[in-house]
Amino acid sequence: MKKNNTEEKYRLLEEKNRLAEEGGGKERVEKQHETGKKTARERITDLLDPGTFVEVDKLVTHRCSDFSMDRKKIPGDGVVAGYGKIEGRLVFLYAQDFTVFGGTLSRANADKIVKIQDMALKMGAPVIGLNDSGGARIQEGVQSLGGYADIFYRNVMCSGVVPQISAILGPCAGGAVYSPALTDFIIMTEKTSYMFVTGPEVIKAVTHETVTKEELGGAATHHGRSGVAHFTSESDEHAMMLIRELISFLPSNNMDDPPEKSVTDDIHRQEEKLDTLIPGDPNKPYDIKELIHAVVDNQHFLEVQPQYARNIVIGFGRLNGKTVGITANQPAHLAGVLDIDASVKAARFVRFCDSFHIPLVTFVDVPGFLPGTIQEFGGVIKHGAKLLYAFSEATVPKITLITRKAYGGAYCVMASKHIGGDVNLAYPTAEIAVMGSEGAVRILFKNITRESELKKSKDEYETNFYNPYKAAELGYIDEIIRPRETRFRLIQALEMTANKNKTNPPRKHGNIPL
C-alpha cells in the first residue's frame, strides 16, 4: 500500500513538471516558432553550459481569481527562472515565456524574478533577463504594476554591484521597458523584437502620427537612432552567443577582477602599418578601429553600440589576456568630434568599466565639440560634462594615447593627465592645442589681412603648437612613442597600474550632470 502511494506521489511530481515544461502547449509553441522565435526553455538551453541549469520556482502559479483566472493556471506562470553556468561561471537568469498568457507579468512571476535578483545580489553573480512579454497582466491590475516596481528597485540596487544584461526577444512595451533600461546592456533581435513606452495606436490617437512597431521601436531604431540598444542579433541563437561573449569580458561582481584568458598573441608584437595609419594631412580621415584591432589580443574587439554616435567607438578587448574597456574618437565619422550623443554613449561606458574594475584605454583624435544651435539648445554643455565627470570620477587604471588632434576642452575631457590619467602617451603626429590653426590665427592676428602674412603666421603656429612636445615638456604627456610599439607600450602601462589604489573623497554619491 505504501509503495503504491509513493509511486503515485512520484507520478504527480512528474506530471506537474511536464505541465510546467510544456508551457502554453504544443499549439502556442508552434506559433512561437512560426514567428521566428524560440521558447524560453530553448533560449536557456542555448545560453548556458550544457546540463548546468537549475530551475527555481518551477511550480509557482498566479493567485488571481478575477475574470475567471482561477480556472487558468499553468505551473511556472509565464516565466522560467533559475541559475546555471556560462564558461563555468555562475549566472542567474529569467526567461519570459510568451506561450503562457503572452508572457505577461503577474504578481507571482514578478516574485520569481525578484527572488532571482536577490539571489544574484547575495551570491555576487550576473543577472540575465530574456524578455518576451506582453507587459503587465491586466487582470491583476495594481498587483502587476507593483511587481514591475519591485523589479525596477532591485535593478537599481544591483547596479554597479553585479552585471545586468537584458535580451529583448519579442515585445517589450509600457512599464516593461524600464527594467531593461536600468540594466547595463541591452541586446535586441532584428525583426522579432521591439521596445516602446507607448505603441503606434496610442501615438496615432494622441499625436496623429502614423508609425509602425518596427519604425517606432525595432532593433534598428534603438541600435542606430535612440541608442537604447547596445547590440543587435540576427536571431535568438545569435543573441545567446552575444551574451556568452559579453559575459566572458566581465567580472562576476564589483569585488572581483575580470576573468583572464590565456594569451597566444605575442605581447611584443609590432604593427609596422600603424606607422603610416595617421595621414599627413590633418583633415584626412582614417579608421580608428584599424588601430584598435591591431593592438588588442588576437585582433578581437567587441564593439558596443557600433551604429549609434559613430564619432566615438567603445567596446571591450584584451591586452595580455586582461579585459580593457576602450574608448576612442573616430576620425572616419564627423572627424571624431564630440557631441551630445557621443558624450553620453562614452560616459555611461566609462562608468560601467569603473564600476567593475575594468581598466580604461582611451585613443584620442578629437577636434573639439560640435558647434551649432542644435547642440547648444540640446544641452551639449551638460551632456559633454557627463563624459568629463565619468573620466574624472573613475579610479581604475586610465591609459590615454593621443594619435593626432587633441584640441580645446575636448583634450581635457578625453582622459587627460589633468583629470587623473595614469599614463598619457602620444604619437609624434599628435597635435595638442587650444584650437585648429585656421581659427587660432584669425583670433591672434585679426589685424592681418594679407593672405601671405596669414599663411606665414599659420605656419609658425603649426610649427610651435601642432606637436606633442610642449605638452611633454610640461609633463602632461609621459612619453612620445612610435605607433608600431603601441601594443607593448599599452601592456606595460597596464602592468604598471595593475595594483593602483585610489579612493575618491567619502560621500554618499556625486551629482553627475544628468
- For residues 85 and 386, give the distance between their C-alpha atoms in angstroms, rounded to a whole number: 35
211 grid coordinates: 508609425
- Residue 205 a catalytic site member: no
> Which letter, b or e, does each residue of 315-334 get, where b requires 16 or more Cβ atoms within 10 Å of its Cβ?
bbbbbbebbbbbbbbbbbbb
284: number of Cβ within 10 Å = 9
Order of strands across the sheet with 89-96? 54-56, 79-86, 89-96, 127-131, 164-168, 185-189, 231-233
**Residue where the block lists cell 541549469:** 53
Catalytic member of 378, 409, 420, 472? 409
Examine the residue annotation and report whether 51 is marked as an active-site residue of this protein. no
- C-alpha 308: how far from its chain's center? 12
Give the Cα separation of 143 and 106 in Å (integer): 7
Do 369 and 409 contact (CB within 8 A), yes or no? yes
Considering the candidates 103, 174, 325, 421, report the single residue annotated as catalytic: 174
* Active-site annotation holds for 409: yes
Q: Collect contacts of 495-499 with beta carbons under 8 A, ≥24 apart.
A: 495/320, 496/423, 497/359, 497/397, 497/399, 497/422, 497/423, 498/397
322/259 Cα distance (integer angstroms) = 7
Beta carbons of 155 and 118 less than 8 angstroms apart: no
Cell of 133: 512579454
Determine the Cα–Cα distance for residues 14 and 18; give it in Å rounded to an integer. 6
Cβ contact 513:385 at 8 Å: yes
Q: Who's near 326: CB < 8 A, 6+ residues apart?
A: 292, 296, 301, 313, 314, 315, 316, 317, 360, 361, 362, 363
Three cell numbers at 287? 579608421
**Among the options 129, 175, 317, 368, which is catalytic?**
175
The C-alpha cell of 479 is what? 612619453
Is 224 assigned a catalytic role? Answer: no
- How far lies 127's CA from each of 50, 157, 185, in Å? 18, 12, 11
**One-character DSSP codes across 24-51:** T-HHHHHHHHHTT---HHHHHHHHSPTT
Residues identified as active-site: 174-175, 409-410
